[in-house]
Amino acid sequence: MEERSPELKVGVLGAGTVGSQVIRMLTEQADDFEARSGARIRVNKVAVRRLDAPRDYDVDPALLTTHPEEAIDGHDIVVELIGGIEPARTYVIRALKQGISVVTGNKALLATHGPELYAAAAETGADLYYEASVAGAVPVVYGLRESLAGDRITKVMGIVNGTTNFILDAMASRGLSYEEALNQAQELGFAEADPSSDVDGFDAAAKCSILASLAFHTRVGIDDVAVEGITKITAEDMEEAAFFGRTIKLLAIAERRVGEDGKDGVAMRVHPALVPLDSPLASVDGAFNAILIEGEAAGRLMFYGQGAGGAPTASAVLSDLVAAAHHRAFGGHAPRESVYAHLPILDPGTAFTRYQIRMQVEDRLGVLSDVAGIFARHGVSIQSVHQRDDKEPGACVIVATTHLAREADLAAVAHALSHSPAVREVTSAIRVEGE
């Protein structure tokens, strides 16, 4: 007689855009998930805030509860999709402490309490999976945690926030102002009513720290990431970028490099950057995500796909669920926290970057040499200078692009320029990456 697969009880916390797609796919493709994991995965309880809230998929009302504990206690696996730190942290810890495996898409939780969650999972032998926390459907967490475990990663750089990519793409391709593009992103449901976590760069910073901790086997948190958002990017910046054959993207960059003390460390930053139009990151449009990973042995790899949305993010959640279910049924466990390298976090001021600085200057004899002198005094070498007349009488525009220089020296140049009598205004200072 054919042996029956063991049945696993799954509790789902949250039945919003992603949660309802997870439940739909688990229900509609139950046989496939059984064949792939070796276990019958049954949604047993779904915790929601409101029983009668409209949902993309009609969840069986008998499964719904407004008491999250009912979707945790006594289950085999809990899927946490409510987001935010609390009460999500309490629920995830409650599950892990009972030995219940957890699949979460909660980047903020991972980026602030990752070590605590890993410790709770290790204590009871439960699995902790979080593919959906970074870049939606794109399997970059698995890529770093498992596929690239055989390599030494030197750099992770990418577009990990779809909302800001939508806004910047709308500005670049349709000439919209920042405000117009943000309004459109909100109307289409890409940006929240309060867009701060996306446009100020914090969502990308959380993802950056998750990727960096996996890439460099070092415990890092969101506070270790130097963050700058996109709110100061103007239509003029975008025009200027196009004039020089570039576009502007919000990049998350994590790298392993030699610090000023001669020892290896980790540096992480999120900021808008000018990237050349022939860079693979320049063609990432709309709300898509893309991550470039450089490994010493593998060379350069690129991960690309939908970074948000119900079904794409559900795809990532379900891949974790298959792995967790397989372990539940047949033994084995998810990779534990790997922080053996203990690399120090490097001061962002010691990073080597390039800037393009645009300024309005007095149109008079010697102004170019005054400006060039400021760069030279701070040890920053100029790669190119472009000068043209300005609309304002008696003024002209200088666009200077630097060679690689210490971030702190570049900041000092921008400061000195803004206080120079030759300069009316520094209108923008944007880093250049990928050239």
Which residues are annotated as part of the binding site?
13-20, 107, 192
Binding residues for NADPH: 107
Site for ligand HSE in 206-245 (CB under 6 A): none
As annotated, the active-site residues are 207
Please state whether 331 falls in left (phi above 0), alpha (psi between -120 and 50) or beta: left
Which among 115, 51, 124, 136 is positioned nearest to 94, based on CA atoms?
124
Q: How near is the Cβ of 356 to ligand HSE at its closest, in Å?
A: 26
Query: By rule CB under 6 A, what string of x and - marks binding of each residue 95-134 to ligand HSE?
Result: ----------------------------------------
Min. distance of Cβ 214 from ligand HSE in angstroms? Answer: 17
The contacts of residue 288 (CB under 8 Å, 6+ apart) are: 159, 162, 165, 304, 305, 306, 307
The token pair at 353 is 């970057």
Stretch that binds ligand HSE, among 30-38, 161-169, 175-183, 291-299 (CB under 6 A): 161-169
Concatenating the DSSP letter of every residue in 274-285 gives EEETTSTTTT--
Q: 154: closest CA among 258, 19, 279?
A: 258
Contact status: 39 vs ligand HSE (CB under 6 A): no
Selected range binding ligand HSE among 147-155, 160-168, 294-302, 402-410, rule: CB under 6 A: 160-168
Comparing CB distances to ligand HSE, the nearer of 241 and 316 is 316
Pick one of 114, 307, 310, 312: the residue that binds ligand HSE (CB under 6 A).
307
| Binding site residue list for NADP(+) | 13-20
Kindly state whether residue 291 participates in binding ligand HSE, applying the rule CB under 6 A: no
Nearer to ligand HSE, 76 or 203 (CB): 203
Stretch that binds ligand HSE, among 139-147, 159-167, 176-184, 232-240 (CB under 6 A): 159-167
For the CA atoms of the chain, what is the radius of gyration? 24
Q: Which is nearer to ligand HSE, 111 or 215 (CB)?
A: 111
Task: Single out the residue of 161, 213, 353, 402 in contact with ligand HSE (rule: CB under 6 A).
Answer: 161
Compute the least distance from the CB of residue 158 to ligand HSE, in Å: 12
Q: Which is nearer to ligand HSE, 228 or 347 (CB)?
A: 228
162 is a contact residue toward ligand HSE (CB under 6 A): yes
Instruction: Kindly write down the DSSP assignment for every residue of 222-273, as one continuous string.
Output: GGGSEE--STT--HHHHHHHHHTTEEEEEEEEEEEEE-TTSSEEEEEEEEEE
Helix, strand, or coil here: 75?
coil
Look up residue 397 and give its two tokens: 């525009």
How many angstroms separate the CA atoms of 336 and 349, rounded? Answer: 32
Q: Shortest Cβ contact with ligand HSE: which residue?
A: 163
**What minimum distance in Å lies between the beta carbon of 351 and ligand HSE?**
24
| 377: Cβ contacts below 8 Å, ≥ 6 apart | 416
**Residue 203 touching ligand HSE (CB under 6 A):** yes
Answer yes or no: are the C-beta atoms of 10 and 79 closer than 8 Å.
Answer: yes
Binding of ligand HSE at residue 308 (CB under 6 A)? yes
User: Counting contacts by CB under 6 A, is residue 310 touching ligand HSE?
Assistant: no
| Closer of 198 and 255 to ligand HSE (Cβ) | 198
Tell me whether residue 35 is exposed, middle or buried, using C-beta atoms within 10 angstroms of its C-beta: 0 to 12, 13 to 18, 19 or more: exposed
| Amino acid identity for residue 402 in this structure | T
b/e per residue, 144-169, with b = 16+ CB within 10 A? Answer: bbeebeebebbbbbbbbbbbbbbbbb
303-336 burial, b for 16+ CB within 10 Å, e for fewer? Answer: bbbbbbbbbbbbbbbbbbbbbbbbbbbeeebbee
Of 216 and 288, which has the nearer Cβ to ligand HSE?
288
169 binds ligand HSE (CB under 6 A): no
Closer residue to ligand HSE (CB): 163 or 356: 163
Q: What angle do CA 308, 63, 318 make, to 5 degrees?
A: 35
Query: Interface with ligand HSE by CB under 6 A: which range of 24-32, 80-88, 158-166, 406-414?
Result: 158-166
Answer yes or no whether residue 198 interacts with ligand HSE by CB under 6 A: yes
Q: Considering CB under 6 A, how many residues would be counted as binding ligand HSE?
A: 8
The H helix count followed by the E strand count for the chain is: 13, 17
Span near ligand HSE by CB under 6 A; candidates 95-103, 156-164, 168-176, 235-243: 156-164
Using rule CB under 6 A, residue 306 touches ligand HSE: no
Distance, in Å, from the CA atom of 286 to the CA atom of 307, rounded to the nearest integer, reads: 10
For ligand HSE, the binding residues (CB under 6 A) are 136, 161-163, 198, 203, 307-308
